[in-house]
Chain A
């Protein structure tokens, strides 16, 4: 466009900086968009030159990675006991959420959940003994993510826990996740009381066999379709799973009635699912995991395949950087607290559930979930703005997951770490909040913006692969 062409046209201005200039322009009737500008993250400017020099390769690799993500087809194929199906699972191994961590650095809720799991497994008879065994070195720990699994909050998976088996039908890989226990005083929030253990036992003895038989009876359940429908019904399948749980209930109920040996157990199982709005979370998470795992190890791809927290560290993995973790301290979420609790009680952010955001759901799809806008400032517009912001840092728009309010625009999908750094804008994550001490449980729910540090490290690590 030459200067003289500009003279003939309607002026349309993009304003970066002083917002009063934009206000004046709008006042004069000029179409104007104000950029909500922030200084870029402090990284070596040379890195951008390296990226520029490999921009073709990066674009191609990200295209490849996001194609895989969009083509992923997660289905629930069955249930089994962790020890039988999770790769590398063994009797003295406990999986936890987030990046790798040694026992001494683990947070209260994770330690609490481990102690609870040791009692549940019969390895320890009480908390005192559990604590001793947990720190003795007898027990090995590893991230769920390194065993094709995910776990909400503390994310503890011990060998005899039942797990959902999710298959990515397009690429043939599997993902695993435990069954959701409900809200409040539960193992994943670090509670380990008798009621917690009793519930886990019931889940193993009654819930698991009933569900296993029912799924075998119904055959594979397509989770991608179910998530897409749940989004149309007001879920973002992270902090709100009411629609997803209802859809799952409708699908599984007849089979449970047909396959469960006695009506009382069938009724209890259905009551349990019905009474737990978050039951579907433990399906939306492994569904996202199965999809993202297929996009690992694509050289030159700057797309994130994992965001996960262990209550101490926040970790990121990229498609193009193999199995390397990039970590930084996990922040304390900005939350709404249950009566009697405050931010002082809160543990730093925890859980593998940010896999939903990594896959274009959760906080990225919060515009689909107006019912939970209290978490994001109270107005529906806030929720929409959060989703709109996430398009800034993602590579593509989802082909199946859509936001009705945005004219069924696909959800922002495939976090591109280059964009995160360039725009100084980190992913927006929905989350639950655990008490910082072991044994207490959930104290609130809320949202947070991911810390920048792991993304800076991931960005630098990614640039290393370009050299």
Chain B
């Protein structure tokens, strides 16, 4: 019988990542099956409840209390860990404190320490993020809100206020941006150049900027707006303003738009704006209708890779006609190559395990055109919604960055544990032919993904040597993880590494198609 026991510590506060690391540390203890170290918010209490870690003692506590809950084989093990907590905290704190200079507690004093501060990057829990963002705006700072779970009313208020002051609000739920050559939050180290990007999609921005950089072109600015900006309620406030700013920016000569399909009203506003822009505009509305954009004078692209290739060519003043024919040629090559990977008649299915939401969407669009709709926790077609996100069925793709997987756990770009577990599980299913993975590099992501992923790939291939593991890498050679190194490591482990998410998805699709035709 497993038992659960815990402790409340008053007045301690650590950010969620630190706490997850602490929980990971506790889980290493022999006999501990699960643990959670979380702040005592209502949300966290309900998470604890669902994971069976809530203890009655925790009912009368506040947001400022820290909970430590441990599930283990016996009480002695738990008491051992709880007794050792002080030294665990000390370890974390001393790591934070080592030769650390004074950290201000508030924006007012941070501004005093850093005169001329011009951007506030906010990643505190969603319910506190709006207040911090408004403080920054009132002090004349531009804002990037990484936090999610900010209400749409707050988002609207912040963006309206910012717009009235000429300030930028990126997010909420903006995972990536590159401002003045600086990667912010989850972003890649790309060349500087003359291509400006506005994106309502995080990994979409990352993939496009990496393709551009790997083509030898560069980025002037890459502005994230958060996915909701192009919805009806927000009305594209920041998308439009970012677009205008890039139009006015002397360093930008090509503009790229990346988004999921905007609301019709917003799309119309974007189109009206494009009509006034003399610079070439390349657009990808992942899964959207390109007619209006095309009418407005933009160049539509069908994949993130194509978007990047077109923008790179335009930025160098090259002809873009050859790009579509080149891509078609590549697709034929992939098709031919794919037949060599259908090894075993029993195999039928494709399983995509994604860390990037937009990459997962793009893959589904490519599948739709080749093998039809696939099941997912974020399906294109509602009929293909998983009944249980934890159970794969037929051809399917899983976005592991969705809430059901990230509550109480770091994002899959940081922590590969869950995805590695799933890779091995899928490999053990004899009906699975292809496992498709995205590997996102850059700041913010896991600094050594090869070390995480390679053992899982090897294990999967050992369990089922007939399986094909296809990867794409979103990254550059200047990223801290290094794209070339990552590619070599994955290939040495036996994975097939494709040049883009689109190419990887096509490869996967054609292998399945070949199997279907056999």
B375 CB to closest chain A CB, in angstroms?
33
Is residue A21 within 8 Å, beta carbon to beta carbon, of the partner chain? Answer: yes
Distance between Cα atoms of A423 and B113 in the complex (Å)? 17
Tell me the chain A residues, 169-191 only, with Cβ under 8 Å from chain B. none
Please name all residues of chain B whose beta carbon is closer than 8 Å to the beta carbon of A16 when the two chains form the complex: 107, 120-124, 132
Is residue B297 within 8 Å, beta carbon to beta carbon, of the partner chain? Answer: no
Which secondary structure characterizes the binding site on chain A?
mixed
B102 is contacted by which of A21, A27, A38, A388 (Cβ under 8 Å)?
A: A388
The contact string, 1 if C-beta is below 8 Å from chain A, for chain B 110-146, is 1101101111111111001001100010001110001
A334 CB to closest chain B CB, in angstroms?
11
Beyond known contacts A25-B182, A392-B109, A424-B64: 9 more, CB 8 A cutoff: A7-B221, A17-B146, A21-B146, A25-B121, A33-B114, A33-B117, A35-B104, A39-B124, A389-B105
- For this complex, 7 residue pairs linking A to B, each with C-beta atoms less than 8 Å apart, are A3-B242, A7-B245, A7-B249, A16-B123, A35-B105, A36-B105, A38-B64
The contact string, 1 if C-beta is below 8 Å from chain B, for chain A 126-139, is 00000000000000
Which among A7, A10, A19, A423 has the greatest number of chain B C-beta atoms within 10 A? A7
B233 CB to closest chain A CB, in angstroms?
22
Tell me the chain A residues, 27-79 only, with Cβ under 8 Å from chain B. 27-28, 30-42
Q: Is the CB of A1 within 8 A of B105?
A: no
Distance between Cα atoms of A287 and B109 in the complex (Å)? 30
A424 CB to closest chain B CB, in angstroms?
7
Q: Is the CB of A392 within 8 A of B104?
A: yes
Is residue A24 within 8 Å, beta carbon to beta carbon, of the partner chain? Answer: yes
Is residue A13 within 8 Å, beta carbon to beta carbon, of the partner chain? Answer: yes
Please name all residues of chain B whose beta carbon is closer than 8 Å to the beta carbon of A276 when the two chains form the complex: none
Is residue B444 within 8 Å, beta carbon to beta carbon, of the partner chain? Answer: yes
A14 is contacted by which of B136, B179, B241 (Cβ under 8 Å)?
A: B136
Distance between Cα atoms of A388 and B118 in the complex (Å)? 23
Q: Is the CB of B167 within 8 A of A13?
A: no
B376 CB to closest chain A CB, in angstroms?
28
The 8 closest A-B pairs by CB, nearest first: A17-B123, A36-B103, A3-B245, A2-B166, A24-B443, A17-B124, A18-B123, A33-B114
Q: Is the CB of A18 within 8 A of B107?
A: no
Is residue A246 within 8 Å, beta carbon to beta carbon, of the partner chain? Answer: no
Q: Is the CB of A3 within 8 A of B124?
A: no
Q: Is the CB of A14 within 8 A of B114?
A: yes
Please name all residues of chain B whose beta carbon is closer than 8 Å to the beta carbon of A425 when the two chains form the complex: 105
Distance between Cα atoms of A424 and B17 in the complex (Å)? 21
Please name all residues of chain B whose beta carbon is closer than 8 Å to the beta carbon of A384 when the two chains form the complex: 102
Please name all residues of chain B whose beta carbon is closer than 8 Å to the beta carbon of A10 when the two chains form the complex: 116, 180
Please name all residues of chain B whose beta carbon is closer than 8 Å to the beta carbon of A31 when the two chains form the complex: 114
Please name all residues of chain B whose beta carbon is closer than 8 Å to the beta carbon of A34 when the two chains form the complex: 103
Is residue A102 within 8 Å, beta carbon to beta carbon, of the partner chain? Answer: no
Please name all residues of chain B whose beta carbon is closer than 8 Å to the beta carbon of A388 when the two chains form the complex: 102, 104
CB-based nearest B residue for A385: B102
Q: Is the CB of A19 within 8 A of B118?
A: no
Taking Cβ atoms with an 8 Å cutoff, the residues of B that contact A are 11, 13, 15-18, 39, 62-64, 96, 101-111, 113-114, 116-125, 128, 131-132, 136, 140-142, 146-147, 166-168, 179-180, 182-185, 189, 220-221, 241-242, 245, 248-249, 251, 443-444
Distance between Cα atoms of A28 and B168 in the complex (Å)? 22
Distance between Cα atoms of A24 and B241 in the complex (Å)? 27
Q: Is the CB of A33 within 8 A of B118?
A: no
Distance between Cα atoms of A94 and B236 in the complex (Å)? 70
Distance between Cα atoms of A34 and B249 in the complex (Å)? 30
Is residue A259 within 8 Å, beta carbon to beta carbon, of the partner chain? Answer: no
Q: Is the CB of A14 within 8 A of B119?
A: yes
Please name all residues of chain B whose beta carbon is closer than 8 Å to the beta carbon of A35 when the two chains form the complex: 103-107, 110
Q: Is the CB of A24 within 8 A of B167?
A: no
Distance between Cα atoms of A3 and B109 in the complex (Å)? 24
Are A36 and B104 also in contact (CB < 8 A) when A1-B140, A21-B121, A21-B146 are?
Answer: yes
B39 CB to closest chain A CB, in angstroms?
7
B119 is contacted by which of A12, A392, A422 (Cβ under 8 Å)?
A: A12
Q: Is the CB of A39 within 8 A of B183?
A: no
Distance between Cα atoms of A12 and B125 in the complex (Å)? 23
Please name all residues of chain A whose beta carbon is closer than 8 Å to the beta carbon of B103 when the two chains form the complex: 33-36, 385
A3 is contacted by which of B64, B125, B168 (Cβ under 8 Å)?
A: B168
Which among B106, B107, B117, B146 has the greatest number of chain A C-beta atoms within 10 A? B106
Q: Is the CB of A11 within 8 A of B17?
A: no
Please name all residues of chain B whose beta carbon is closer than 8 Å to the beta carbon of A452 when the two chains form the complex: 11
Distance between Cα atoms of A31 and B118 in the complex (Å)? 10
Please name all residues of chain B whose beta carbon is closer than 8 Å to the beta carbon of A250 when the two chains form the complex: none
CB-based nearest B residue for A425: B105
Is residue A274 within 8 Å, beta carbon to beta carbon, of the partner chain? Answer: no
Please name all residues of chain B whose beta carbon is closer than 8 Å to the beta carbon of A30 when the two chains form the complex: 182
Are A20 and B102 also in contact (CB < 8 A) when A6-B142, A11-B182, A39-B13 are?
Answer: no
Is residue A9 within 8 Å, beta carbon to beta carbon, of the partner chain? Answer: yes
Q: Is the CB of B248 within 8 A of A391?
A: no
Q: Is the CB of B119 within 8 A of A6?
A: yes
CB-based nearest A residue for B442: A24
A377 CB to closest chain B CB, in angstroms?
9
Which among B96, B110, B146 has the greatest number of chain A C-beta atoms within 10 A? B110
Q: Is the CB of B168 within 8 A of A39?
A: no
A344 CB to closest chain B CB, in angstroms?
16
Distance between Cα atoms of A449 and B142 in the complex (Å)? 34
Please name all residues of chain A whose beta carbon is closer than 8 Å to the beta carbon of B16 when the two chains form the complex: 18
